[in-house]
């Protein structure tokens, strides 16, 4: 959306919240985009999950329609956009589409198998005039479910090359790297979905490269996957001296942590949700010219060319994961070469500005 806004498109965003507030409509602005937060009426529904959350979203729909009508009458709208299927996203978008006869885009940026209710997911696929998918995995999944290929468009994730410009952080990252007190640094950033292979492989890596520090930047909203939960696992393995858990950091701070790395890490398990993902963290690693050791799941493997941009290990093979890390840490010239090659690939293929232009061209033609 930011990239489209920079191309002089006027964008209005309606965000449905499940918490009650007064006033129920709160105007905001970000990156030149007008945002309206819509809150449900106070009807005694205290919980913000399960059925209560869905009911709150449904209670917002009359107000969303009212606010959308004001915008449409004043500005005219060419497209309705929904981020992912759901009661609080594609359902109100479909209502607006059908009421005002405006074509609708569904942005499928993640695996949708866990989204409920299924009826709304199916309806969103049928109602959408265009469906943007971030990976070929998701495209093939939709086609196999009978969705017309003609309305599916592959639009991958991208990276802000200005923010993740390695030249901007050379001095700052050098000082930060020194603060970790280790000769070799491994960095993981992002949601802490599953660090098991990183932790299981660590003892072998440390045995071969003892002057080492794992820097883990990020957290998870599930308490069982929070950084404090992973800290406890690391402590139980006797590895606390080799791991630094930093919790969440602002997006603007992420590049300097990546720049500290000799090698960057990813660790998806072999599950459909992760197989379908197109991890932005990998693009950020590449933009900063860092080699990667990751797991060999479908879309990660489509991004990280094994032996060229880093190495892939089977998700259940911590020995292979460790060997890949040891190889890159013992041969820094190889690691540097892979990082540079990965950087070229990311800059050529995943610049958000170029991807925004691709979306812009697609939007110009409502019939294709």
pLDDT (tens digit, 0 to 9) for every residue of the chain, 368 residues total?
666 666 667 889 999 999 999 999 999 998 778 999 999 998 777 677 778 888 999 999 999 999 999 999 999 999 999 999 999 999 999 999 999 999 999 999 888 766 778 889 999 999 999 999 999 999 999 999 999 999 999 999 999 999 999 999 999 999 999 999 999 999 999 999 999 999 999 999 999 999 999 999 999 999 999 999 999 999 999 999 999 999 999 999 999 999 999 999 999 999 999 999 999 999 999 999 999 999 999 999 999 999 999 999 999 999 999 999 999 999 999 999 999 999 999 999 999 989 988 888 888 876 66
Which pLDDT score, from 0 to 100, does residue 111 have? Answer: 83
Taking the C-alpha atoms of residue 31 and residue 28, their distance in angstroms, rounded to an integer, is: 10
pLDDT score, position 360? 86
Q: What is the H or E stretch that residue 154 is in?
A: strand 152-154
Domain range 166-349, its CATH number among 3.40.50.2000, 3.30.1200.10, 3.40.50.10790, 3.90.600.10: 3.40.50.2000
Q: How far apart are CA 94 and CA 106, in angstroms?
A: 10
CA distance 368 to 308: 36
Where are the alpha helices (H) located in the chain, listed in sequence order? 2-6, 50-75, 90-100, 118-127, 136-144, 170-179, 196-208, 227-236, 254-258, 272-275, 280-287, 298-303, 318-330, 332-349, 352-364
Residue 37 phi/psi, 5-degree rounding, is -85, 125
| Domain 2-158 indexed as CATH 3.40.50.2000 | yes
Contact of 308 with 279, CB cutoff 8 Å: no
Which residue's entry shows tokens 């892979």? Answer: 338
> Which pLDDT belongs to residue 2?
65
pLDDT at residue 3, rounded to an integer: 67
My answer on whether omega of the bond before 210 falls inside 30° of 0, hence cis, is: no
Q: What is the pLDDT of residue 237?
A: 97
Do domains 2-158 and 166-349 share one topology? The answer is: yes
* Strand duo 33-38 + 25-30: pairing: antiparallel
What is the residue extent of each domain of the chain? 2-158, 166-349
Which pLDDT value is given to residue 367?
A: 61
Q: What is the pTM of this model?
A: 0.91
Neighbours of 7 (CB within 10 A): 11
Whose structure tokens read 């998918």?
133
């Amino acid at each position: 959306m930011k990239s489209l806004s920079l191309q002089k498109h006027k964008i209005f965003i309606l965000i449905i919240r499940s918490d009650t507030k007064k006033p129920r409509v709160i105007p905001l602005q970000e990156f030149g985009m007008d945002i309206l937060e819509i809150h449900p009426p106070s009807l005694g529904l205290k919980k913000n999950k399960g059925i209560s959350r869905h009911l709150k979203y449904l209670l917002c729909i009359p107000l969303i329609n009212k606010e959308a009508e004001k915008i449409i009458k004043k500005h005219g709208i060419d497209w309705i956009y929904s981020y992912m299927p759901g009661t609080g996203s594609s359902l109100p978008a479909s209502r607006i589409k059908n009421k005002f006869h405006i074509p609708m885009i569904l942005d499928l940026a993640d695996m949708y198998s866990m989204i409920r209710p299924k009826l709304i997911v199916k309806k969103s696929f049928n109602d959408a005039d265009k469906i943007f998918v971030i990976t070929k995995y998701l495209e093939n999944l939709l086609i196999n479910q009978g969705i017309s290929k003609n309305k599916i468009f592959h639009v991958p994730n991208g990276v802000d090359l200005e923010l993740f410009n390695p030249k901007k952080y050379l001095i700052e990252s050098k000082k930060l790297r020194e603060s970790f007190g280790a000769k070799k640094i491994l960095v993981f950033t992002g949601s802490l979905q599953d660090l098991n292979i990183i932790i299981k492989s660590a003892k072998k890596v440390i045995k071969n490269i003892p002057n080492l520090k794992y820097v883990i930047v990020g957290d998870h909203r599930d308490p069982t996957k929070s950084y404090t939960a992973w800290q406890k696992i690391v402590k139980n393995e006797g590895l606390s001296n080799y791991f630094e858990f930093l919790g969440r950091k602002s997006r603007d701070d992420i590049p300097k942590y990546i720049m500290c790395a000799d090698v960057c890490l990813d660790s998806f398990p072999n599950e459909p949700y992760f197989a379908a993902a197109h991890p932005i963290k990998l693009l950020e690693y590449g933009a900063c010219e860092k080699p990667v050791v990751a797991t060999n799941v479908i879309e990660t493997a489509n991004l990280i060319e094994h032996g060229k941009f880093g190495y892939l290990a089977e998700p259940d093979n911590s020995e292979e994961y460790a060997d890949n890390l040891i190889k890159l840490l013992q041969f820094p010239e190889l690691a540097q070469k892979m990082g540079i090659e990965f950087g070229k690939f990311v800059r050529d293929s995943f610049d958000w500005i170029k991807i925004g232009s691709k979306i812009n061209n697609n939007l110009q033609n409502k019939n294709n």
